[in-house]
Structure 1
Amino acid sequence: MTSPDPTSAPRSGSGRGGFVFALVVLAALAVAGWYGWRAWSARDAAMRRTFAEQADALDARLDALRGEQRAQSLRMQQDEATNRVLREELIGLGQRSALIEQTVEKLADPDRHGAQALFLDETALLLATGQQRLQLAGDLDGARRAYAIAATLLERVDDPKLLDLRQTLLQERNALDALGADPRAAALRELAGFAASLPGDGAVANDRDANSPWWQRLLSRIVRVQPSNAAIATDPVDRRNARSALELELTLARAAAERRDAAAWHEALDRANAWLHRLWPDSPQRKTLEARLAALRAMPLATSNPVLGTTLQQLQALRSAR
């Protein structure tokens, strides 16, 4: 039997110890690496969360900045609109001030006769008023007063160019003084007299009998001869209706005269004349009524003054030329 080498046992123990030491070192390094990787992962996650929070904060800040920018843009637009309105108002005020200044200069300028221009305006207004009062209302006295006041105002204008205008106004005033009463009033008065003078049912027949020969008057008490084609109303109801129609036509004629409608006036009197033929037979009294109706139809309803309004037209043309 061989004895073991005393030098080999220690060498084997040192090899196992080195191996174990190496394993311990590797295990320590693995643990350290694992802890390091875990710490790095936690730090990376924290940094990512921090970056995400910062990004969210930046986005919120950008949204707030965008909202403020939009609000600022709206305020700037409103300010621009306000400035535009104010600028236009200032321009308008400047224009109105310039117009007022020009008007004041015209009134203060002795060459433009500002006060005389006011007199001419009042003269034109009075002439137009007088013309309308005469044409619409038939107020001849009112028209004469308006023309008299217009002549007084025109005398206060010391302009030699108005000499022809003064002469025209004088001629027009003379024509107004030469006019008589309102023809419409005369026509209405004659119409009222005609309506009041209408005879009763038997008045015309009695007049006809009075002018007939004695033998006709004698026989008329027994029998009355009348043409079969005559349109005389004999029934009392028909006569009342015909009389009412005649009075209605006279009323329509009166309304036409009030509004100076010559065509309606003529038509109403023509229809009234037809109702005369319906109510009464041919007789001297009916002929008198027909003659009065014809005279009424020929009466004018408005004044005929060819020179009326000449002064106003001449004044307007003179002011337009200036």
Structure 2
Amino acid sequence: MSDTSGDKGLSDTQSLVVHTPAATAPRRGLLALSMALLALLVAGWSAWRSHLAERDRGASEAVAQLAAQVDTIVQGSEQRRRDLDGLRARFSDADTVNKGLREELFGLGERLRHVEDAVAHLAEQRLNGRDVLALNEAEFLLVQAQERLALFHDADAAIAAYRLADAALAAAEDPAFATVRRTIDAERAALEAARPADLRANFTAIERLRAELPALVAVPTAAPTAAAPSGWRAWLAPFVRISEVEASSDAQRDPGIAQGLIALDLRDAQAALLAGDAARYRAALDRARAGIAALPAGQTPAQQAALAAIDTLAGAPLAPALPELGSALKELRNLRATRALAAPAAAPVAAPTEHRS
């Protein structure tokens, strides 16, 4: 369009020049040149404007394309940022889970160490519940043997209790109590060497004598016939009563009284036997022997056997010199107290500590 307009202007100028008078030809040439220059300037300006417009249009298109590309890049960047945030959240969650797992692992390690310490403590501690029970049983049996011997002089029961105490200590796994077992063996040997009379056998023998008393007591003989009364006795009978008094005791005149007295003496001997009273025991047997010997029927074989049995019972040592007990009990208590003081106190199992990374 700019080229056609320029050509049209040139043709008009030429027509003007053609029709201009000859006198004004130089001026017209200058005007035409000016107009041509003006037209060139207008054409150049139009071309420059067109060029600027094209350039602006191309620049706008380029800017639009750049803007579209920038928007695409921004959208991609936003998507990548969101993806990166998602990955960071996942990594954070994974880090939290790993941290929790690591803390649990550390807690399990602490618990495992506490369990190992507890197992080691149990392995080092020889006095477990069964050993403590065995030691308590042995101590109780030793106390019972000592009191039984002191109260009733029952050496057989004391020896049996010592055997049970030795068996209880043998069940304990601690070899430190072997010395207590040796002391128990020594005291038991001393008891067996000074064994007193068998209380059970003596008690049974006395009870047998009491059961045989009805057969030992003889039936009294018939009284002799009385002589014919004299005259003076018949005359004084309404005023004075004369009777003869025998020199024998009530026991000799009444077998029932004799049997009861002998039974009481034998029962007293049994009580003294259980109480360990040797003087009372022998005194009761002596009274029972005298009662049997004074029976009115004389010395029958049964009475002779009963007197021999009483002599045997009286001759047996009821309470000989018994050894002093208590050394094993004292040694056991001292050893238990020493080991209880030496054993460290069991520390309570602490909760696992948390490790923070």
TM-score by length of 2: 0.40
Rg: which structure is higher?
Answer: 2
